[in-house]
């Protein structure tokens, strides 16, 4: 909401000229501007109780869908968490990653960071269908995606938190934006990780904490081949173990756990692995390689409570990246296509 009409018309109504405005009127006018500014910003804020009246069963429906999916395939928890991350880093948390290609735009699913690697679309589709039956055209796909990320972490043994809701869905997606490098690749340097997260308003601490999501899930051979054959800051026995299922040529889609110790549990063993040079991706091990983030990795490896707290803080901040609210965007009826 613009404050200009209010601030310019107020003195005229009082019959006061701009050159002789009493201080108390100026102060009151400034206070009035502040009220309107706050009103404008609060209408665009997310809220943990956004659907409490319009879709009271939402949280139960989403969690049930996530539990069912993880019961069928544990890996799905990590996939849903990653889907949320890849959505938020491309033009904000707007559900754009869920959109299929159309005649008017090429979507994000075949962009290099996502192609043949992002998954979980059928799970989101099923949950959205259940939500639509309970509350038609009320809950956005972007919010469902955010909730599934939280529930995945918690179901696999990690912390839980209240999720701010009220995002709306984008009407388009961008292959070019998803391909532009905003999502750091597994070959990233520490500097690139810090810069990419900083560009989204996330601190270095947020980045290191969010990297702990790699305590669950699997990675494709093509994403860690160079590390296990050509890098020196890697435990020799660990490199040999991974080489068994990831040959120098071929086998690109062969999978390995990102956390060699407890791959199906959300815990702090990811950081303990880094201390022992058992980070699977180059972008994992750079977090503990005589650099500025070593101390954070060491702290998280020793104290899972601090890791959990910092992870939750970072997840909430990530969920706040450029949401569409108010009258922006739409509430898709089907997550894979605009209305």
Where in the sequence numbering do the catalytic residues fall? 86
Q: Which of 147, 157, 152 is nearest to 269 (CA)?
A: 157
- What tokens were used for 20? 């002789």
Q: Which of 70, 291, 22 is nearest to 11 (CA)?
A: 22
Distance, C-alpha 239 to centroid of its chain:
30
Q: Label residue 175 left, alpha or beta by phi (over 0 means left) and psi (-120 to 50 means alpha).
A: alpha
- Let me know: does 110 contact 175? Beta carbons within 8 Å: yes
Q: How far is CA 63 from CA 83, 135, 140, 155, 331, in A?
A: 16, 16, 16, 9, 20
Three-state DSSP class for residue 81: helix
The DSSP letter of residue 201 is T
d(CA 60, CA 70) in angstroms, rounded, equals 15
DSSP string across 123-186: HHHHHHHHHHHHSTTTS-HHHHHHHHHHHHHHHTT----PPPB--BB-S---HHHHTTT-S--T
- Let me know: does 242 contact 256? Beta carbons within 8 Å: yes
Q: What angle do CA 115, 120, 125 make, to 5 degrees?
A: 120
- What tokens were used for 14? 């009082």
* Number of CB atoms found within 10 A of residue 18's CB: 9
d(CA 77, CA 66) in angstroms, rounded, equals 8
- Let me know: does 266 contact 304? Beta carbons within 8 Å: no
Strand partners, 334: 337
The DSSP letter of residue 169 is B
């Amino acid at each position: 909401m613009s404050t200009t009409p209010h601030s310019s018309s107020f003195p005229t109504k009082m019959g006061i000229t701009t050159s002789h405005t009493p201080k108390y009127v100026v102060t009151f006018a400034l206070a009035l501007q502040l009220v309107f500014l706050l009103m404008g910003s609060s209408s665009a804020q997310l809220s943990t109780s956004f659907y409490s009246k319009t879709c009271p069963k939402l949280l139960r429906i989403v969690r049930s869908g996530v539990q069912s999916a993880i019961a069928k395939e544990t890996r799905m928890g990590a996939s849903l968490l990653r889907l949320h991350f890849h959505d938020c880093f491309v033009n904000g948390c707007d559900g754009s990653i869920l959109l299929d290609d159309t005649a008017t735009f090429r979507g994000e699913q075949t962009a290099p960071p996502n192609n043949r690697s992002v998954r979980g679309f059928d799970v989101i589709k099923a949950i959205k269908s259940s939500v639509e039956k309970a509350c038609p055209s009320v809950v956005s796909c972007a919010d469902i995606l955010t909730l599934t990320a939280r529930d995945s972490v918690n179901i696999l043994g990690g912390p839980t938190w209240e999720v701010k809701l009220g995002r709306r869905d984008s009407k388009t997606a961008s292959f070019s934006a998803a391909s532009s490098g905003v999502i750091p690749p597994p070959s990233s340097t520490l500097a690139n990780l810090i810069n990419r997260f900083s560009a989204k308003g996330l601190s270095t601490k947020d980045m290191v904490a969010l990297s702990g999501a790699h305590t669950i899930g699997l990675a494709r051979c093509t994403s860690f081949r160079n590390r296990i054959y050509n890098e020196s800051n890697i435990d020799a026995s660990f490199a040999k173990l991974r080489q068994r299922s990831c040959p120098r040529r071929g086998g690109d889609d062969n999978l390995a756990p990102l956390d060699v110790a407890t791959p199906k549990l959300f815990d702090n063993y990811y950081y303990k692995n880094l201390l022992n040079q058992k980070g699977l991706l180059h972008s994992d091990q750079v977090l503990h390689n005589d650099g500025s983030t070593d101390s954070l990795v060491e702290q998280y490896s020793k104290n899972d409570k601090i890791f959990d707290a910092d992870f939750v803080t970072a997840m909430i901040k990530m969920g706040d990246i450029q949401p569409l609210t108010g009258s922006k965007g739409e509430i898709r009826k089907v997550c894979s296509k605009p209305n």
